[in-house]
Structures are given as structure tokens and as C-alpha cells.
Amino acid sequence: MKAFRFVRPSNGREAADLLASTKNALVHAGGVDLLDRMKERVDEPDVLVSLCDAKGLDQIRVEEDGGIWIGARVTLAQLADEATCRRFLPTLSEAAGLAASPQLRHRATVGGNLAQHTRCGYYRHASFPCLKRGGDSCPVRAEGGVQDTAGIFGNRDCASAHPSSLAPVFGSLDAEIVVRDAKGERLVPFAGFWANPAKGRASDTRLRPGEVIEGVRIPPRDTKQFVGYAEIRQKKAFDWALVSCAVRYETDGEKVTSASVWFGSLAPVPMRSVAAEEALVGTVCSDKSAAEAGARTMASATPLAGSKYKVALGKVALKRALAAARERA
Ligand SMILES: Cc1cc2nc3c(=O)[nH]c(=O)nc-3n(C[C@H](O)[C@H](O)[C@H](O)COP(=O)(O)OP(=O)(O)OC[C@H]3O[C@@H](n4cnc5c(N)ncnc54)[C@H](O)[C@@H]3O)c2cc1C
Ligand code: SF4
């Protein structure tokens, strides 16, 4: 690993100022993702602007209007364990509690989870070519490429699969990302936070140079919400989900009046399924309507030979997430 300087600003504003005035600096939070990349020399920053002492970013709180604020430095363990999150955002608690391993959950933060880079094995080794790292092609798509964790949507140029299992939950809850740079703060709607892969674009987000995520805001709801989360993974710990799915819907007492369906690990960025949402609205939520929503989602999938199995897995995850929402009601 290349030598670097480690600076510890005391709040988000100071962090943004430091990023604006420092060349070749990166934000550091828990370091779970970033230090791996640095050890592999995929990233070689001169300075790490660490949020480890940044005040106010480690809290989960209910705001005056009933919305919920989650600071960027909140850990996955906090999301899984703290009463506010368990009570008001049960699907987020669940997703966080299933991720990684107990040790990692105590280091990994919300901001880092959203801004983490792809786990694609070719991306993470500087010796392989990779479109995201500025190469001309994607070795996953080439004959003989390792495709078992590859995405099945939006994979024409880069077949990576977005690793965050918190992201589909935030998507389903219409979260907003609070971002700060040296000039001030801006609110980014969840769907607008993501950037599709392009040559030389390593990040999957639209964060601009010098920007820090300060937190995530979940808007208040005044009607009853049905929420569910499901994921499928090979190992119960120290692993990533092969597919994850988060749903939220409302009913008129019987039929679904609006729905939000998001998947993780199926595309290079978290994926909303409008097809599934349209299939669910007007139905009484059941395994039958879930199967139709899954079929409509997967009708446009473009799996590679090694990732075809994710088509079936995605349908199962959606069915389980909707069943979990019905059971919780
Ligand atoms: C074995 C293993 C299993 C895992 N399983 C799962 C899983 O099941 N589900 C899942 O969701 N994740 C999983 N992860 C990923 C893990 O949750 C993330 O790596 C972690 O959340 C990153 O958070 P961090 O605070 O350590 O980020 P860091 O490593 O510090 O940073 C990650 C990236 O985000 C940027 N960054 C960090 N914070 C900010 C901020 N506030 N503003 C702007 N940029 C920022 C950094 O510059 C860096 O590029 C797993 C990781 C491992 C090693
Ligand atoms: S799937 Fe994407 S990240 Fe992986 S090698 Fe191909 S271009 Fe790079």
C-alpha cells in the first residue's frame, strides 16, 4: 500500500473544506471497502479525510415532521440494533443485520455502504483489464469470464452487480441522500444518486469530487405502509447477497394502490422494477400477484451464461419480500 496522510476533521463541513483544498484525497469512514482497494493499489490516495471523529454523523433520530435522519457514520450494527431503526424502519434493520459479519457490521457505515465500489473480482485487481478502471473491455463478459455474481440487467458494457443490501431498502422507502461540499448542502433523491457504468468511471454514484455524504433522510408517511425485505445468499456470514429485494406498498384495505419495488445485486446500480410495481397495483397482494410481478420484471433480463440462475432467484426474492410484508401487517 502506498503511504498516505490521515486527517480527522471534526464535522462534515470541515471534511468538505479539506476535500476542496487537498489534492488526491478520498473520504474514509469504516475503511472496510476503501482499505481493500488501497491494498490492491486499485486506489492510491495521498490523503484520507476520515469521518471517524465527525460529530453528529453517528446518530439515528426521528425529526419533527416524523421523517427519520440517519447519519452517514451510523454503522450497520447500529441500524440492526437501535430501537428507533428497528421500530420505524424494520426492513433496514433486517438488511443491515444480515450483511457481512458481526465484526464488519461494527465498522461498516451507511455512507460507505452506499458509496462502496463494486466487488467484481476483475475490478479489484489492478492487473486485469476493466472498463470501469479505464480499460477497453469487460473481462466478465468475455468467453471464460467468471460470471457467477454478474448482473442480469444493464450489463451491456459492465456486468457488475451492485453489492449494497441497504440500497434497495432505501430505494423502497424513497430515501433522500444529504450531500455536502465546501459550498453547502444538497438533497439528492435516491434514484438520482446512481451513475451507470462508463469507461473510467469507478464510482457507481453521482457524487462529485469534494462531496461528502452527511446522511440519509427517510420521509414521513401518513398512511399505513406494508414493508418487506428478502435476500438470498450462499453463506450466512462474511458474504454478499446474490440478490436482495425490498418492497413497500399501500392498500385501500384490500387492493394495492401504490407499490415500490427495488432489487440489489441484479444490475450495476440498485434497480427499481416499475414492471413489478405496475403488476402489483390493483391486485390483492398474494403469491399469485407476486409471481406475475416477478415474471414481468424478469421479462427484460439479459443474463450471461453464468448468471442465468439469478432470473429465478430474483423472482423468489420478490415473492419472499412481499410475503414478509403481508406477514408483518
Ligand atoms: C466480507 C464482506 C461481506 C460484506 N457483505 C455485505 C452485505 O451482505 N451487504 C452489504 O450491503 N455490504 C456488504 N459488505 C460491504 C460493506 O458493508 C461495505 O464495504 C461497508 O459498508 C463500507 O462502509 P465503510 O464505512 O467501511 O466505507 P469505507 O471503506 O470507508 O468507504 C467506502 C467508499 O465510500 C466512500 N465513502 C465512505 N463514506 C463516505 C461519505 N460519508 N461520503 C462520501 N463518500 C464516502 C469512500 O471514499 C470509499 O470510496 C461486505 C463487506 C465484506 C468485506
Ligand atoms: S463487470 Fe464491470 S467492474 Fe467487472 S471487469 Fe467488467 S467492466 Fe470491470
Q: Is 240 in the pocket of ligand 1 (CB under 6 A)?
A: yes
Q: Is 140 in the pocket of ligand 2 (CB under 6 A)?
A: yes
Which atom of ligand 2 is closest in space to residue 138's alpha carbon?
6
pLDDT, tens digit (0-9, with 9 covering 90-100), for 187-196: 999 999 999 9
Residue whose entry in the numeric block shows the C-alpha cell 430515501: 175
CA distance 243 to 161: 9
Residues 6 or more apart whose CB falls under 8 angstroms from that of 239 comprise 100, 233
CA distance 213 to 106: 19
pLDDT, tens digit (0-9, with 9 covering 90-100), for 264-299: 999 999 999 999 999 999 999 999 999 999 999 999
Q: Which ligand is the nearest neighbour of the Cα of 168?
A: 1
CA distance 90 to 151: 27
Enumerate residue ranges in the chain where pLDDT < 70. Answer: none
The candidate with the shortest Cα–Cα distance to 238, out of 94, 100, 106, 119, is: 100
Q: Which three cell numbers stand for residue 150?
A: 454478474
- Centre of ligand 2 to C-alpha 139, Å, is 7
- Centre of ligand 1 to C-alpha 12, Å, is 18
Q: Is 122 in the pocket of ligand 2 (CB under 6 A)?
A: yes
CA dihedral 308, 169, 115, 60 (to 10 degrees): -160
Q: What is the per-residue burial (b if ≥16 Cβ within 10 Å, else e) of 96-108?
A: bbbbbeeebbebb
pLDDT of residue 204: 98
CA distance 323 to 290: 9
Residue ranges, comma separated, of all CATH 3.30.390.50 domains in the chain are 226-328
pLDDT of residue 329: 80
Which atom of ligand 1 is closest in space to residue 28's alpha carbon?
30
Within 8-104, strands assigned E span 25-28, 47-50, 60-62, 68-71
Q: Which ligand is the nearest neighbour of the Cα of 161?
A: 2
CA distance 31 to 267: 24
Element (H, E) at 241: none
Q: Is 160 in the pocket of ligand 2 (CB under 6 A)?
A: yes
The candidate with the shortest Cα–Cα distance to 203, out of 234, 158, 248, is: 158
Which atom of ligand 1 is closest in space to residue 164's alpha carbon?
11
Q: Is 28 in the pocket of ligand 1 (CB under 6 A)?
A: yes
Q: Are 301 and 153 in contact (CB under 8 A)?
A: yes
pLDDT, tens digit (0-9, with 9 covering 90-100), for 43-59: 999 999 999 999 999 99
Q: Is 123 in the pocket of ligand 2 (CB under 6 A)?
A: yes
Q: Which three cell numbers stand for residue 189?
A: 433523491
Q: Of all protein residues, whose CA lies closest to atom 37 belonging to ligand 1?
A: 112
Q: Which ligand is the nearest neighbour of the Cα of 136?
A: 2
Residue ranges, comma separated, of all CATH 3.30.465.10 domains in the chain are 60-115+161-218
Q: Is 38 in the pocket of ligand 1 (CB under 6 A)?
A: no
Assigned CATH for 60-115+161-218: 3.30.465.10
Task: Give the CATH superfamily of 226-328.
Answer: CO dehydrogenase flavoprotein, C-terminal domain (3.30.390.50)
pLDDT of residue 128: 93
Q: Which three cell numbers stand for residue 291?
A: 409471481
